[in-house]
A and B are shown apart, each in its own frame.
Chain A
């Protein structure tokens, strides 16, 4: 075996040397370009642009190396393409989905509906764009799971890019009791927005009286905020609404359930039983 390899080497060593040189120089060049892209250009380029350049350099580089090696091995590409014609049709049918994903991926890169780091919601899944690959887009969810979505599916689907714009509006539906004054509730809500440091003062908060609901008067309270402040704003503003409504005597109504046993006018009958014998320690509580 070793002798055969040596014999082959002795016969073809100029070609083997040239191939080794092509591969070596090609890989070194790709390494240098990738390093440049990561370290030097990485600071100036957006992650999306860096990703596209990374793919062009690597896929292009490996194709050039492969073609050069084939040329050295005296594999003529014209003949190869001719022979591969029939095979290509068969492979094309088999790789239809993959090809569709590749093309969809290119369209997504071109159209830029999102970029790496954006928060998107699609098909009930919420996650941050983790990577955009040849065949799929990967999302990282907040509980640190990776969701792979084929490019083709994403291309056809409707998705929401939550963090596309620097500011967002948080809409809260606030319910108040019928006895309460809507104007007073408006003033309190405006004051809450004014005092919260995470609410932007421009665009101004919106207050819309939504209407008379089954058991409450509903107000839409929308405050604008910087997208990175979502959690802290939501937590603080809801706590503040509850606190201020309690202080101002504004009631937040909630549905009550009344149980009737037969007749609508008579309350549910409660029968007092003597539990002292069976559970003496709970007797006082039960009779209350």
Chain B
């Protein structure tokens, strides 16, 4: 659809980040012919409106402040999808990133044998768009660069998260488009554990909001380090509160399944 066709005569209702999170998340949004929404949250910007006969939903999106090389990936022209006049609704929900997040603290932290360390970090969130009860797309609210975790022949492709890993949740700068992730690392090995990078498998983590808390929280990540050549245990625990989005995948517990899944 060309830009000219999509132009509307109705004024656009600009929805700020605060309003979007407070009033538009996890609620059915009903559009009519005269409603033209312009949403902005983090780097994400989107416009939504109905066609004149209310049979199609028109939308376009972009991300501000990104490299021009990413324009094709994160910017779309006006495009449309079928819309049911009766009962059609749009819904936005917060989600954790669609790939693991690789956390790289500013400073390498050494964890002594037998020591238990608690750390906190913020994970940027994505927003899922559902149209007429079907998932249409997912957009990151903050565009993250990609990184690799592991050996070049075997590892995980994830999003890079460089920054502060803090010892207290209060020290994190509050943001409504990021979720707080609590990490607990326990060194059960006889050797010193150097915490240089940590891969948080967000696909196994849920998103929650505690009563009276404006910032969402992810599942708590608990890592028990047994040694370099030993099986280390990572578990993701429910921190309590209302579930905003469940984990994308169920964590595989069976050792047998883990061993043979690649065969």
Q: Which of B146-191 contact A (CB under 8 A)?
A: 146-149, 152-153, 155, 157, 160, 162
Whether A201 contacts B160 by the Cβ 8 Å rule is yes
Whether B70 contacts A197 by the Cβ 8 Å rule is yes
In the complex with contacts A202-B102, A202-B160, A226-B157, A167-B69 CB distance below 8 A? no
Whether A166 contacts B157 by the Cβ 8 Å rule is yes
Q: Which residue of A lies closest to B154 (CB)?
A: A165
**Interface size, B (range):** 10 to 19
B155 contact set on A, CB distance < 8 A: 166-167
Interchain nearest-CB distance for A243 vs B (Å): 12
Task: Name the contact of A200 in the complex, choosing from B104, B146, B197 (C-beta under 8 A).
Answer: B146
Expressed in whole angstroms, the Cα–Cα distance for A165 and B157 within the complex equals 11
Expressed in whole angstroms, the Cα–Cα distance for A166 and B152 within the complex equals 8
Whether A203 contacts B153 by the Cβ 8 Å rule is no
Whether A202 contacts B69 by the Cβ 8 Å rule is no
Expressed in whole angstroms, the Cα–Cα distance for A226 and B73 within the complex equals 15
Main DSSP-derived SS at the A contact region: loop
Interface flag for B253 (CB, 8 Å)? no
B70 contact set on A, CB distance < 8 A: 197
Q: Which residue of A lies closest to B153 (CB)?
A: A165
Contact with A along B245-256 (1 / 0, CB 8 A): 000000000000
Expressed in whole angstroms, the Cα–Cα distance for A201 and B143 within the complex equals 15
Expressed in whole angstroms, the Cα–Cα distance for A196 and B119 within the complex equals 30
Interface flag for B213 (CB, 8 Å)? no
Interface flag for B4 (CB, 8 Å)? no
Whether A197 contacts B67 by the Cβ 8 Å rule is yes
Residue among B67, B69, B104, B149 facing the most chain A CB atoms (10 A cut-off)? B69
Q: Which residue of B lies closest to A198 (CB)?
A: B69
Interchain nearest-CB distance for B252 vs A (Å): 16
Whether A236 contacts B69 by the Cβ 8 Å rule is yes
Task: Name the contact of B145 in the complex, choosing from A165, A201, A203, A236 (C-beta under 8 A).
Answer: A201
Q: Which residue of B lies closest to A224 (CB)?
A: B148
Q: Which of A187-237 contact B (CB under 8 A)?
A: 195-198, 200-203, 224, 226, 232, 236
B67 contact set on A, CB distance < 8 A: 195-197
B146 contact set on A, CB distance < 8 A: 197, 200-201, 226
Expressed in whole angstroms, the Cα–Cα distance for A232 and B71 within the complex equals 12
B162 contact set on A, CB distance < 8 A: 201
Whether A200 contacts B153 by the Cβ 8 Å rule is no
Q: Which residue of A lies closest to B66 (CB)?
A: A197
Whether B147 contacts A200 by the Cβ 8 Å rule is yes
Q: Which of A146-203 contact B (CB under 8 A)?
A: 165-167, 169, 195-198, 200-203
Q: Name 16 extra pairs, CB < 8 A, besides A197-B66, A226-B157, A236-B69.
A: A166-B148, A166-B157, A167-B155, A169-B152, A196-B67, A196-B69, A198-B69, A200-B145, A200-B147, A201-B162, A202-B147, A202-B197, A203-B148, A203-B152, A224-B148, A232-B69
16 contacts between A and B (CB under 8 A): A165-B152, A167-B148, A167-B157, A196-B69, A197-B146, A198-B69, A200-B148, A201-B160, A201-B162, A202-B102, A202-B147, A202-B148, A202-B160, A203-B148, A226-B157, A232-B69
